[in-house]
């Protein structure tokens, strides 16, 4: 494997670029550690052969994902061996850390290390059996999500202290001192104005669509879960959960609900703002994320919202300079 995917770039002098390459290679040389608190597990290829999840469902989802991401221009997927998969938790039963799945605390993709930590959907404490099909669908969603993070354009620079600074991630930018182009969203409902949320929403839109197509391919219409939220879990995995369904009083459901309210619903509200189909808007955003070129998205928005609309919608008042200055 290469320690620098095609969508990653380093900026600076020749010596600075060489140093950045060395730093990134050092971070990425080892397989992913077991890094989730109280959770034990193994690399994903070992889990696929363990019988814990339905490997056929996962491999079908992997094929659907590979075809879709090839359409988007993604050349390579995150290697399966760099996905550490938690299968058991020492946490107290009934808590958020004791329940695995996409919304488990602290799981996700790490861009510096180029690895991912995920967990198997369901009770990780052993109090209830895991559904192999539902767990496979959830892993399809988690893996597809992290593969798109892996494929999103990134640019790095050295800070004055010799540390790695990610100065561009997809359509978002930051100065080496940490000042970001886009400010956090104001609490509440409505369209997002935070580019991190925009990209997270676009990423999960793709991931849940892939999980939904996988479920359709296998004729899976409801999960076989020994839990009090089977329908909500399935709707979340396949991207069909509604606002009214996000209020179930269960630790995992509360995490799911927070993600739905702060990411999914606000991203959908943003797409609905534009004088175009939601699919067209989503395609423009996704293409810009992967390619790292803001100009086509800016031009597309200018036609619908006026010249300079990208900056008016997403630029934080405190951000000094244009995105081109930190590319």
pTM of the complete model: 0.93
- 99 has a pLDDT exceeding 90: no
- What is the Cα–Cα distance from 11 to 157, expressed in whole angstroms? 5
Cα 81 to Cα 84: distance, rounded to the nearest angstrom: 7
Mean pLDDT of the region 262-266:
94
Mean of all residue pLDDT scores within the chain: 88
More confident residue, 275 or 164: 164
Helix (H, G, I), strand (E, B) or coil at 277: coil
Query: Can you give the residue ranges of every domain in the chain?
Result: 8-326
> What DSSP element (H or E) covers 74?
none
Q: What distance in Å separates the CA atoms of residue 53 and residue 299, rounded to the nearest whole number?
A: 45
pLDDT in tens, 120-160: 998 898 866 678 888 999 999 999 999 999 999 999 999 98
pLDDT range class, residue 32, cuts 50, 70, 90: low
pLDDT, mean of residues 9-16: 94
CA 323 to chain centre: 23
Kindly report the number of other CB atoms within 10 A of residue 22's CB atom: 11
Count of CB atoms within 10 A of residue 30's CB? 9
Question: Phi/psi at 86 (nearest 5 deg)?
Answer: -80, 135
The Cα 63–Cα 52 span in angstroms is 20
Give the end-to-end CA distance of the chain in Å, rounded to a whole number: 26
Higher pLDDT, 170 or 258: 170
pLDDT, average across residues 281-287: 96
pLDDT at 326: 43
Measure the CA–CA gap between 87 and 1, rounded to whole angstroms: 26
Mean pLDDT confidence for 52-71: 96
DSSP state of 32: P
Measured between alpha carbons, how far is 256 from 243 in angstroms, rounded to an integer?
11
pLDDT at 302 over 50: yes
39-43 vs 83-89, strand pairing mode: antiparallel
List, for residues 185-211, the tens digit of each pLDDT value.
998 889 999 999 999 999 999 999 999
Q: At residue 244, does pLDDT exceed 80?
A: no
């Amino acid at each position: 494997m290469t320690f620098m995917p095609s969508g990653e770039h380093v900026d600076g002098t020749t010596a600075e670029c060489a140093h950045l390459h060395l730093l990134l290679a050092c971070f990425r040389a080892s397989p992913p550690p077991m890094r989730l608190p109280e959770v034990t597990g193994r690399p994903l290829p070992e889990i696929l052969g363990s019988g814990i999840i339905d490997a056929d469902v996962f491999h079908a989802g992997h094929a659907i994902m590979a075809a879709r991401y090839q359409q988007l221009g993604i050349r390579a997927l995150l290697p399966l061996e760099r996905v550490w998969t938690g299968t058991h938790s020492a946490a107290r039963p009934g808590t958020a850390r004791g329940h695995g799945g996409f919304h488990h605390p602290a799981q996700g993709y790490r861009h510096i290390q180029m690895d991912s930590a995920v967990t198997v959907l369901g009770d990780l404490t052993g109090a209830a059996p895991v559904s192999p099909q539902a767990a496979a669908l959830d892993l399809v969603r988690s893996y597809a999500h992290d593969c798109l993070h892996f494929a999103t354009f990134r640019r790095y620079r050295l800070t004055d202290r010799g540390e790695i600074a990610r100065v561009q991630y997809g359509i978002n930018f930051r100065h080496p001192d940490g000042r970001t182009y886009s400010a956090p969203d104001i609490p509440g409902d409505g369209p997002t104005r935070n580019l991190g949320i925009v990209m997270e929403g676009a990423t999960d839109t793709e991931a849940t669509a892939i999980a939904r197509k996988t479920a359709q391919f296998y004729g899976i219409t409801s999960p076989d879960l020994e839990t009090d939220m089977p329908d909500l879990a399935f709707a979340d995995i396949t991207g069909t959960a509604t606002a009214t369904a996000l209020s179930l009083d269960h630790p995992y459901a509360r995490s799911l609900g927070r993600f739905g309210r702060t990411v999914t619903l606000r991203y959908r509200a943003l797409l609905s703002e534009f004088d175009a189909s939601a699919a067209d808007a989503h395609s423009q955003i996704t293409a810009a994320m992967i390619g790292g070129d803001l100009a086509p998205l800016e031009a597309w928005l200018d036609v619908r919202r006026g010249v300079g609309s990208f900056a008016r919608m997403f630029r934080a008042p405190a951000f000094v300079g244009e995105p081109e200055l930190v590319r």
